[in-house]
Structure 1
Amino acid sequence: MTSREVPSFCRLCSGGCGVKVTIENDRVTRVRADPDHPLSHGYACFKGLQAPESHYGPARVLRPLARQADGRFSEIGSEIALDEIGARLKAIEEKYGAEAIGMYCGNGSMSGYITFAMQRAFMSAIGSRQRFTTFTIDQSAKFVSFERLGGWAGGTEQLETSDVVMMFGGNPLISHAALGVLCVDPVKRLKQAKARGMKLIVVDPRRTETAVHAEVFLQPFPGQDVPIAAAMLRMILAEGWHDADFCARFVGADRLDDLRQAVEPYTPEFAEKRAGLNPGDIARATRLFALESGRGVAIGSTGPNFSPFSNLAQHLIDCLNVVCGRFPRAGDKVVAVDVLDPPAAYIEEVVPAPRSWEAFPPSRIRGVGMIYGERLTGTLADEILTPGEGQIRALIVSGGNPANSVPDQERIIEALKSLELLVVIDPYPTVTSELADYILPTTLMFEHADMPLSVPGMSFWPVAFSQYTPALVPPPPGSDVVDDWYALWAIAQRMGKQVRFDDAVDLDMTVRPDAEDLIAIRARRSAVPLDEIKAHPGGKIFDLADIHVQPARAEATGRFDVMPADVADELRAATAYCPNGDFTHLIATRRMRDLYNSNGYHLRTTRARNPYNPVALHPDDMTSLGLAEGDEVEIQSEVATVRAVAKSDPTLKPGVITISHGWGGVPGRQGDPRAGGTSINPLISDHEHVEIVNAMPRMSAIPVNLKRVQNENSKTEERWFEPAAPTVGRMADTGP
């Protein structure tokens, strides 16, 4: 038996942790953290270490499947499947037009360096704008904020340069997702930063794994980020704690006054009462952030980005950075550079608010536009179900699970069932693939060459790092799997289309492209040449010593638009908003340590540690409901009811429950939540409480009622939660 250990990196999330992979007879037998990795320093989480199970476990789909007339699946060769898919898509295009073909891209594919670009190239080749991704049901509020507020051309503050970090609704010690600040090796980096004196402020309904490290912890009800951030801005401006010179140069007196007037109603007392905070909480956090610290950053994460008025919340959080001048200045060295991007200039000036969605032709659904060339996933069901020109008749799902990730589950499943053709490109069975006409299984991360996740204009890491990995092992013997990108190229070929890859090179449509050639095309203008990156198989932090923030150009006149008219309108609406008082609790978002969305759901090693996704309640709420650990509880929202298994969690604020997404099966067949978990998507409406610009549904801070379920015969006992204090909805029913 031959055995070797080679370096690579994990691609399950944006962390990109370095790993050492043991290979025996062309088979991955072990994965461990790479102790010499320059980025992750010997850190890797449970998820990335499960490669032997993910590559060779029984859940993996190894041969393409096609649905037969009787509804059952049968195996089919990959090239034959691609022939049939191409022919059916061509017929749909000829009958209805290119806009009848849509694509949904999930996180399972978008981390692939080639696939990320091929998804866009495919849709461009067929002439359809109907591309949807998880982006617009995740943290698209960040991009809406940039579009309305403007951005900073000098880059962003990093953990290592910050005196203070204030985090709203994020838990990067579990999620690894704070966009460069705490994305990789988060625990060690946070402890190192705190050891040199950095202070941490956390605003979260739960005392999270991150919050336990905070000097100041605010525990509001979910969905109260708007009043908290507005009150902080009011205090900063009233006390003169803002960076007056920065605001004079990059905001202007008139715009700053607009902001001051807009947040005037949000006194700390009002915000604390509305959010359920203790008196003085907001003053303590604001003083530490604005007065006692010179450099730092405020960050909004999935909590505010999923809640009501998510775009407004992110805008106000970003305004905290603006009024305090929390940006790199001329002369500062820039270290957070995506070396796969072309060299870029970093300048001490404002990128004016582009408001680019206004330039896109409005959708036939609700008149909404597009965000960065994408249709809005909150409208996907309507785009499929609404008759008329542009109705989607065929959908390709690339590495995603919309049936279990898109809100309003029954409607999205109704929509998927109505399609004339549904193609799922995925290595595992999902709720979505159960509805598919074709399932194309794919290679997994150690079976193909790759580069790290790279999104133009974004940096996921705090340093100029990159790494290349070749394919380490072949797919399992007897399998018939394809690369994600190849499936799209091959379908375009069958449709007679020309693929222009990365907006640069017209591919030869008569010969299968080589993955190495495609990587080279994407990296053709990278700040560090591809050959130099390949020369360091364990990854390298590159010293780009000459990259510093440059002084503003003489002709630069851009200023931050801190309170445009539409943001002011949303702030007035938020002031009047309160959750439905007929409900007693609010659901907050939560991640499970061992899963990434639904990735890992089918792995035996993961399910042995996480058999289901429990609903967590404060112990006092458990007592009021007469619940014991492991009892079933019914969760009822305005639109649906689901069942989950109760778990006591003293880190929660009373009146708040949490449950992770990505679990459960097809509605009506989910059965015991202890067996397959609970999908929370039925509780969410895709029509009510939706953001205007990006059609983002309310996916957190959802009002619900709870009811204990009798164990015997799974009957629901008529014992609703009886709060000892005013309900969550009524506590929020106050105005300035």
Structure 2
Amino acid sequence: MENGIHYRTCHLCEAMCGVAIEMRDGHIASVRGDRDDPFSHGHICPKAVALKDIHNDPDRLTRPLQRTAEGWKELDWDCALDLVARRLHQVRTEHGRNAVGVYLGNPNVHNHGALVANLPFLRALGTQNRFSATSNDQLPHMLANLEMFGHQLLFPIPDIDHTELLICIGANPLASNGSLMSVPDLKGRLKALKARGGELVVIDPRRTETARQADAFHFIRPGSDALLLMAMVNVLFAENRVDLGAAQHWTRDLELVRLACLPYTPEAVAQQTGIEPVIIRDLAHRLATTQRAVLYGRIGTSTQSFGGLATWLIYLLNILTGKLDATGGLMFTQPAVDLVTLGALSGQRGHVGRRTSRVRGLPEFGGEYPASTMAEEMLTPGNGRIRAFVTIAGNPVLSSPGGQRLDEGLAQLDFMVSIDYYLNETTRHADIILPPTSALERSHYDVIFNMLSVRNVAKYSEPLFQPDDNARHDWQIMLELAHRLERLKRGGSLGLRRELGWRALKRIGPDGLLDLALRTGPYGQPVGRLQPLLQPAVDLIEAVLPERHPLKHLTGLSPLDRRWQDLPKGLSLAALRDQPHGLDLGPLRPSLPDRLYTRDRQVHLAPRRYLEDLPRLYQRLSEPVGGHLQLIGRRHLRSNNSWMHNSQRLVKGPERCTLMIHPRDASLAGLANGDQAEVTSEAGRIVLPVEITEDIMPGVVSVPHGWGHTRAGTTQRVAQAHAGASINDVIRDNQVDPVSGTSVLNGQAVTVTRHANEQRRRA
């Protein structure tokens, strides 16, 4: 790459911050914020320096590896791809297609190439045993999108730049840089909120980084959020404060909501939530009476025993107070690549419960089973047992509940392959590791996070480095494997048209399809027939893809209707290349009811799925409070799940993998600051240092997510030197929210004691 400044989007979290990378003599000299980026305006967080660290990481794998009796050995690509395809096909042939399982990790959604290749690869695998990080994260939001708005990807986004009141529950956006709210420089945006007379209210079991900036903060007991939210709904109806605004014309079942909330008065829920009735009423009043206000919840409200109900109620409260599709409230994006419309055209709006998992009978969502079922599907004998496994950019041993059981399950597989450039706690079990290029060696466009952005933007980044001739992008790896698997399934021959289709798909690649999506998307131009050289290739690709595949409908899209005629036109890949800082496509705008995809074009306020779960919530009112410590996770600005701990600059400084505990609970356990504490549950035990703080609610303890680099056989040396402990080793995988199938990662019961070595040291 030439010397000088090159502009990209940081891909390390959801915020999409623009970066200016200075190159000297083929090396990265500096990484700074891009002041001309129309979205981030020069802001970056400390993680941006890891762009250089990850690319230059000496522990990053660059060649295929095979496990042998003598250790790992390198393979050439064709040999490795042929071997993987043969072994996966062999397991399918001998034990059935569902004997193969696959897990997709979080980095896939930051990568438009992986998104393009995932679908044909999954189709070639043909298994129903599909898993991803979704059910450890945002699944309740996708379920609410589907049930209420008719499309699993139609996320309502807080219009934070125009709101006057932001109520944050179970979310810490100053550490996460948003999350289902792509928002660079949140601190600056919160300052702007207060400068225009607005307020921030935070509700959480921990006084988080975001809570420290709040005008008001309230502790809440883990897992009781749905009770608080239902009591707020109760107040709105009891005091005649329900006002749907424009939404009254396209909503249904309001009376069912009124009846459902009757038992949940503020007085009834106060003990369970730990929040006084007067505060609950005040929260409801302020949401109802502030014209531009929004209620926002995330991981804390999603990954708990009532995650489905809590997320539904967050949406519902915004609707009941007239904040849906209103400036300063919850609004919908109109991204340049519109997967919502593409999915609707292909009939892929989402689905739930078409089948259930083999062992526990949990429902699938969007074709995926809950991640909490992976270990049992590997360890439980019987027809359909997972005997081969594929991981793609994921480390579920550290990021999914029951990490020790999953370790056991992966160790007894017949075959495992990982598409990953680290030998980590999960990939150490693989027979073959296929390492893709680094993110800086491929182009970048944020397909997913532009759908979650607080402003409509578009930006394309060229590769910063030219990959080695012997390197492969992840999309190339997946397409090559898919092509080989399809050949094996059909006896070695696909026929001329299908062979040409595979060649065309590989040749056009994700950038060619991105260009087509941009041209035919909301800000493109009517193109009639495509360019003469492109149309035949698209026709061939369609022969490879299934009938209902979203990519087959790119040529059926057209620019936005007259509502959007004032916005820029002619968007294409070439146009974005000419704008290296990115394009601002405007603020979020009202788009309902036209953007609804329910059959009756109405917002469904009271889906049966949620109403049927209310008896379980009502039972919670009579359960005893206290008696055990409840465990919650936490996020740090310098960390992102399990894969950013091999950068010395991000892990240096005070130890962050600590047990946060309230002084009262520490005293009861005989713990002092810096002691080693033992945290135990039915799932296992971990040991980590104590951090006593009044920032945590009494009866609650917190351990950060993504640590635990203590397992043998990994090669991430920096991470091993700052190993920490894995919270998922003490989180049971048999606890899920029955409505959504989401793992209960917050609120599980644990016991905390002084570690035996600590007791001996004190003695």
Which residues of structure 1 form unaligned runs of 5+?
346-353, 719-736
Deviation at 1:39, TM superposition (A): 0.8
The 5-angstrom pairing of residues 313-332 of structure 1 reads 313-328=310-325
CA offsets, 1:44-70, max 9 Å, x none?
111122222211133322332210035
Q: Kindly tell me: are residues 521 and 84 of structure 1, through their superposed partners in 2, closer, same or farther at Cα, counting changes over 3 Å? A: farther
Contact 1:645 1:673 in 2 (8 A): no
Alignment-mate amino acid for residue 598 of structure 1:
S
CA–CA distance in structure 2, aligned partners of residues 109 and 430 of structure 1? 17
2:101, 2:390 within 8 Å by CA — same for their partners in 1?
yes
Match of 1:682 among 729, 733, 749: 729
Whole-angstrom distance in 2 between the partners of 1:594 and 1:318 = 30
User: 2:461, 2:580 within 8 Å by CA — same for their partners in 1?
Assistant: yes
Describe the shift of the 1:423–1:579 C-alpha distance in structure 2 as closer, same or farther (beyond 3 A). farther
Tell me how far 1:138 sits from its aligned partner: 0.8
**2-structure distance, mates of 1:78, 1:47:** 32
Show CA shifts across 1:259-306 (max 9, x none). Answer: 22322222212222211124522122111111x212322222100111
**Partner residue in 2 for 1:464:** 456
Q: Which amino acid aligns with 2:502?
A: L
Deviation of residue 194 (structure 1)? 2.2
Q: Secondary structure at the match of 1:495?
A: helix
Aligned to 1:377: 371
Taking only the aligned residue pairs, the percentage that are identical comes to 28
Q: In the alignment, is the contact (CA less than 8 A) between 1:631 and 1:646 conserved in 2?
A: yes
8 A contact 2:104–2:132 mirrored in 1: yes
Structure 1-normalised TM-score? 0.86
Cα distance, 1:611–1:435 mapped onto 2, change above 3 Å: farther
Report how far residue 674 of structure 1 moved: 8.2
Q: 2:478 aligns with which of 480, 488, 495?
A: 488
Q: 1:19 to 1:329 in 2, by over 3 A?
A: closer
Q: Taking structure 1 as reference, are residues 361 and 126 closer, same or farther at Cα in structure 2, changes over 3 Å only?
A: same
Structural mapping, 1:147-186, within 5 Å: 147-150=146-149, 156=157, 158-180=159-181, 183-186=183-186
Which residue in the other structure is 2:751 paired with? 705
* Secondary structure at 1:390 match in 2: coil
RMSD: 3.5
5 Å-filtered alignment, 1:181-580, equals: 183-243=183-243, 249-252=249-252, 255-290=253-288, 292-328=289-325, 336-341=333-338, 356-358=351-353, 360-454=354-448, 459-475=451-467, 481-497=471-487, 506-508=501-503, 514=509, 516-521=511-516, 523=518, 525-527=520-522, 528-543=571-586, 549=591, 557-577=600-620
Cα deviation, 1:78-99, whole Å, max 9, x if unaligned, reads: 3322221122122222223333
Deviation of 1:634 after TM superposition, in Å, equals 0.7
Q: Is residue 46–residue 594 contact of structure 1 (8 Å, CA) maintained in 2?
A: yes
CA contact under 8 A between 2:304 and 2:736: conserved in structure 1?
A: no
Amino acid at match of 1:139: Q
> In structure 1, what is the equivalent of residue 740 of structure 2?
694
Contact 1:583 1:705 in 2 (8 A): no
Task: Report how far residue 317 of structure 1 moved.
Answer: 1.7
Which deviations, in whole Å up to 9, do the C-alpha atoms of 1:633-655 show, x marking residues without a partner? Answer: 01122432211111123321122
User: Does the 8 A contact of 1:428 with 1:602 survive in 2?
Assistant: no
SS in 1 for 2:20: strand
CA distance in structure 1 between the aligned counterparts of 2:178 and 2:505, rounded to whole angstroms: 41
Distance 1:295 1:434, change over 3 A: same
Deviation at 1:382, TM superposition (A): 2.6
Could you tell me how far apart the structure 2 residues matched to 1:277 and 1:548 are?
34
Q: Does the 8 Å contact 1:614/1:644 carry over to 2? A: yes
TM-score by length of 2: 0.83
CA deviations 1:590-639 (Å, max 9, x no partner) are 10221100121122222223655111122343344343332110112243
Provide closer, same or farther for how the CA distance between residues 156 and 46 of structure 1 changes in structure 2, counting only shifts above 3 A: closer
DSSP 3-state at the match of 2:223? coil
Partner SS, residue 609 of structure 1: coil
| Structure 1 Cα separation of the partners of residues 59 and 720 of structure 2 | 20
- The CA distance in 2 between the partners of 1:418 and 1:281, in whole Å, is 53
Measured at CA, do residues 393 and 520 of structure 1 come closer, stay the same or move farther in structure 2, by a change above 3 Å? farther
Provide, for residues 413-453 of structure 1, a one-character-per-residue CA deviation record: whole Å limited to 9, x for no partner: 12211221111111222100111111122212211112114
Q: Distance in 2 between matches of 1:168 and 1:140?
A: 17
For the 8 Å contact 1:507–1:513, the answer to whether it is kept is no
Report the CA distance shift for 1:486/1:100 in structure 2 as closer, same or farther (over 3 A).
same
Pick closer, same or farther for the CA change 1:709–1:379 going to 2, 3 Å: closer
State the Cα distance separating 1:150 from its structure 2 match.
3.8
Superposition pairs of residues 608-619 of structure 1, within 5 angstroms: 608-609=652-653, 611=655, 613-619=657-663
| Letter aligned with residue 531 of structure 1 | A
Range moving further from structure 2, 508-517 or 118-127: 508-517
Whole-Å Cα distance in 1 between the matches of residues 330 and 628 of structure 2?
50
CA distance in 2, matches of 1:365, 1:18: 46
Q: Supply the distance in 1 between the matched residues of 2:149 and 2:673 (Cα, whole angstroms).
A: 48
Tell me, yes or no, if the aligned pair for 2:155 and 2:332 is still in contact at 8 Å.
no
SS in 1 for 2:428: helix
Alignment of 1:115-130 (within 5 A): 115-130=114-129
Give the direction of change, closer, same or farther, for the CA distance of 1:372–1:278 in structure 2 (3 Å limit). same
Distance 2:761 2:470 in 1: 47
Letter in 2 for 1:532: A
Query: 1:699 Cα deviation (Å)?
Result: 0.8
Query: Paired residue for 1:639?
Result: 683
Q: Distance in 1 between matches of 2:339 and 2:616?
A: 42
Alpha-carbon distance between aligned partners in 2 of 1:333 and 1:46, rounded to the nearest angstrom: 29
Separation of aligned partners in 2, 1:579 and 1:210: 31
In the superposition, relative to structure 1, how do residues 552 and 698 fare at CA in structure 2: closer, same or farther (>3 Å)?
closer
Number of equivalences: 692
Work out the CA distance in 2 between the residues paired with 1:399 and 1:259. 41
SS of 2:744's partner is: coil
